[in-house]
Amino acid sequence: GARGGGPGRVAGVELAPRARGGAVERGLGREAEAIRSGFLAVRPCGGDAVVGNPPYVRLRHLPEEEARLALGVTAGVLGRRMDPSGSLWMPFLLHATRFLEPGGRLAFVLPHELTYVRYARPLWRALGERFGELRVVRVRERIFPELMQEAVILFASGRGGRAMTVRFEVFEREADLAGGEPARASRREMLTSRRGKAPSVNGK
């Protein structure tokens, strides 16, 4: 949407025909702007915001061509290939950063492992170098019951800025997200070395 608050263009990317058609039928986007494609294959274009719910599939479980594309995306953003033991959500998130204009923001539903796995350390460094503010939000009430693992929401804003910390927030209920105060909140240092290190934001 437009940053000034007026009407803006909204485009969506969906590979599954049924999901794409359902989104158009529900008025979530126009037919011409509902792109049927794998997200990693879409050429980046400027925008104010990106919202995503990527797959959590391990790269080693992907067909060879798809895994090669994912590794190529991470190498293009990070300057190095990601650990092939990692998951597809990471290249999705990195690719999303390419779509944002200065000052842009993103919100992604991600697995809780984002906060502690070793292969995400270069990702945290990249996020800290590209955004002015980073937040990880966890809701104790299960708001994504279809997921087989615990999820968090990553908010990154101020594209073009630099963040040295990440704010971690825990909410009791989904309803508290809209204007409520978190049950717990802390700000942790994130970039502790040249190589980057995942923040200790487990929030259990």
DSSP string, 129-160: HHEEEEEEEEESS-S-TT-SS-EEEEEEEEET
First-last CA distance in the chain? 35
Q: What is the pLDDT of residue 27?
A: 55
- Min mean pLDDT across 37-41, 64-68, 146-150, 194-198 is at 194-198
Residue 91 has pLDDT above 60, yes or no: yes
Model pTM score: 0.80
- Residue 1 pLDDT level (bands cut at 50, 70, 90): very low
Mean pLDDT, to the nearest integer, of 136-144?
Answer: 86
More confident residue, 19 or 61: 61
Highest mean pLDDT among 25-29, 159-163, 192-196: 159-163
Handedness of CA 85, 82, 161, 194 (dihedral sign): positive
Measure the CA–CA gap between 110 and 105, rounded to whole angstroms: 16
* Residue 87 β-bridge partners: 58
- Residue 2 pLDDT level (bands cut at 50, 70, 90): very low
